[in-house]
Structure 1
Amino acid sequence: MKQLSVPKEIIENCFSQVLATKSHETSENSDTNYFIDADLSILGQSGEVYTKYYKNVRKEYAVYPNIVYNSGRKKALQHFLTMENIFKTEYFYQKFEETARKNIQKEIELL
Structure 2
Amino acid sequence: MDEIREYWLQLNDRHGSPPSAAADEMEKILAQYSAPGRYYHNTRHLSDLLTLQQQYAPLIVDNDSLLFAIYYHDLVYKATRHDNEEKSAQEALQFLKKIGYPKEKQQKVHAFIMATHGHQNPLADPDLDYFLDFDLHILGASPALYNAYTQQIRKEYSLYPAYFYKKGRRRVLKHFLGQTGIYRTAAFREKYEKKARENMEREIEML
Structure-1 residue corresponding to 2:76: none
Report which structure shows greater RCO (CA 8 Å, sep ≥6): 1
**How far off is 1:26 after superposition?**
4.2
Deviant stretches of 4+, over 6 Å:
none
Structure-2 residue corresponding to 1:80: 176
**How far off is 1:108 after superposition?**
0.8
**How far off is 1:32 after superposition?**
0.6
Between the aligned residues of both structures, percent identity stands at 40
Counterpart selection for 1:40 from 126, 136, 139 = 136
CA distance, structure 1, for counterparts of residue 179 and residue 105 of structure 2: 29
| Greater C-alpha Rg | 2
- Alignment of 1:21 onto 2:130: no
* Aligned 8 A contact 1:45 1:100 in 2: yes
SS in structure 2 opposite 1:5?
Answer: coil
Question: Mind listing any 5+ residue stretches in structure 2 that lack a counterpart?
Answer: 1-95
CA distance, structure 1, for counterparts of residue 140 and residue 121 of structure 2: 18
Are the structure 2 counterparts of residues 20 and 47 from structure 1 closer, same or farther at C-alpha, using a change threshold of 3 Å?
same
Give the TM-score taking structure 1 as reference length. 0.95
CA distance, structure 2, for counterparts of residue 94 and residue 19 of structure 1: 26
Question: Mind listing any 5+ residue stretches in structure 1 that lack a counterpart?
Answer: none
Counterpart selection for 1:70 from 148, 166, 173 = 166
Structure-2 residue corresponding to 1:5: 100
Give the TM-score taking structure 2 as reference length. 0.52
Q: Which amino acid aligns with 1:99?
A: K
**How far off is 1:102 after superposition?**
0.4
* Number of residues of Structure 1 aligned to a counterpart in Structure 2: 111
**How far off is 1:105 after superposition?**
0.6
Encode CA deviations 1:37-63: one digit per residue, 9 max, x unaligned.
Answer: 000111000011111111000000000
